Amino acid sequence: MTESDRSETAAVPGDRPEALFAALFERARAVMPGGCSRNTVLRKPYPLYAARGEGCYIIDLAGTRRIDFANNMASLIHGHAPAKIVEAVRKQVGLGTGYTMATEVEIEYAEHLVARVPSFDKIRFVNSGTEAVMTAIKASRACTGKRKIAKVEGAYHGLYDYAEVSQTSNPGNWGSENRPESIPVAFGTPPAALADVVIIPFNDFPRAEAILEEFKDELACVLIDPVPHRVGMIPASKSFLYGLRDWTRRNDVLLVCDEVITFRCDRGGAQTMLGIEADLTALGKMIGGGFPVGAVGGRDDVMRVLDPLAERVLFPHSGTFSANPVTMVAGKVAMEAFDEQAVSRLNELGRLARSSLAEAAAAADCPAAVAGAGSMFRIHLADELPQNYRQAFPSPQQVRAMQVFVDHMVDNGILMINTCSGMLSTPMQAREIEILAETAEGAFRKAREVLA
Ligand code: PMP
């Protein structure tokens, strides 16, 4: 090990990273609102600036090395710069990065994903999860001839006007549990968009059904994330999921699953894990092998609305970078390597992470409950697991405790998502989980003081 390697192995910041990062942030703020292009990278008082990633480690510009449990917001299933993907992408980049021509690798990757997910007869690629959800919603409208959508309160589905309604509603505006209000995220959201989004509570089928019944003749789809991160990362209960599947079938409404994150849960995504088949599914993140991606897959008769060869084209659909060969090559290599065996090994590690974190909280005597599924976890600084967005909504004290928790982790060599969540990657071993839990014990002790 060289001297420079050694300085990177400890979670000890290098020379005055504060000054370095503060100066970069100042430059950034001069040219970008808030000093960034994605709010997720912001931290107080300034973001960390990355130098490089190596497997399950990420090294910042000050030379501090951390285990990466954020994995670019769940998009890096094999960690950073996996050799096979780097090699395949390098070769493709030399051959060109995009053509106004179709490619064979797009067909190969489509074949792989259609074979992988029981509910897919057909698939189309786009460039982000936002675009995938938008495409699924527009396809639902085109297919059913109806306009409204229903979605779960607090669930994140990207930036499309309709998909983001009530993603950030709060106790001051969310209204009654029997009829949650449709609350905009962005100022200027057209009232017509709000009027076309029906909000249902998570994991409460009787309440959700009562709301859906009222709008059944106007609904194109029910959009659902089977393990919604922002809602608390609790898997959808069978009664909720099967209830929605059955209700949508009976009422000529499509069931759209957003598996942008949850696809990692099983070989065929959380649908396979939970035993349902959606009519349409939005994918993104990890299926790009580290590159920007999205996809919509589903039943042939629904996907047909996207067919430009049809006599009447119901939903003309295109995108300059859709199915670009770099993403296709990287995604195909990544997903082929994330086979049945890799999925179950990573899920086993996920179980270990959740139980080790719960033990660390108990050892620190901190109120905490660990949610998650597959290779994902989310720590709630509360006595019990929340069952929906309203229960998961943190008090100001919990917000402070979460901040203290995540800061302690970052200062001690662990990068996490700032909701106290983490995503595993295949280069991880039991050792990384052990370090996660050891570090978390200190974080739980600090959080306990804030909560006391
Ligand atoms: N759906 C879900 C469940 C997501 O978590 C995200 C991104 N966090 C999106 C959609 C949007 O994906 P993207 O950021 O690629 O637009």
On the question of pLDDT at 15 being above 80, the answer is no
Question: DSSP state, 264?
Answer: G
Residue-level pLDDT at 46: 95
CA pair distance 265, 245, nearest whole angstrom = 20
Question: DSSP state, 288?
Answer: G
DSSP letter string, 92-140: HHHH-S--SS--HHHHHHHHHHHHH-TT-SEEEEESSHHHHHHHHHHHH
Ligand 1 atom 12: the closest Cα is on which residue?
Answer: 129
Section 15-33 average pLDDT: 91
CATH class assigned to 83-337: alpha beta
Amino acid sitting at position 404: V
Q: How far does the centroid of ligand 1 lie from the alpha carbon of residue 272, in Å?
A: 20
On the question of pLDDT at 318 being above 80, the answer is yes
Q: Are 243 and 205 in contact (CB under 8 A)?
A: yes
Section 389-394 average pLDDT: 97
CA pair distance 48, 140, nearest whole angstrom = 40
On the question of pLDDT at 1 being above 70, the answer is no
If one residue of 71, 130, 224, 271 were mutated to test the ligand 1 pocket, choosing by the most ligand atoms within 8 A of its CB, it would be 130
Share of the chain above pLDDT 90, in %: 96
Q: Which CATH superfamily is domain 3-77+340-451 in?
A: Aspartate Aminotransferase, domain 1 (3.90.1150.10)
Provide the mean pLDDT of the chain: 96
> For residue 228, which atom of ligand 1 is closest to its CA?
3
Q: Grade residue 18 by pLDDT with cuts at 50, 70 and 90.
A: confident
Q: What digits encode the pLDDT tens for the residues 288-312?
A: 999 999 999 999 999 999 999 999 9
Section 316-342 average pLDDT: 98
Report domain extents, the chain.
3-77+340-451, 83-337
pTM: 0.96
Section 384-411 average pLDDT: 97
Q: What digits encode the pLDDT tens for the residues 145-166?
A: 999 999 999 999 999 999 999 9
CB-defined site of ligand 1, < 6 Å? 73, 128-130, 133, 156-158, 225, 229, 258, 260-261, 284
As given in the structure block, the two tokens for residue 266 are: 């099983």
The candidate with the shortest Cα–Cα distance to 45, out of 20, 68, 70, is 20
Residue 299 CB neighbour total at 10 angstroms: 18
Amino acid sitting at position 365: D
Section 136-150 average pLDDT: 98
Residue at token pair 């106290």: 420
What are residue 422's phi and psi, to 5 degrees? -150, 155
CA pair distance 314, 191, nearest whole angstrom = 25
Residue-level pLDDT at 5: 42
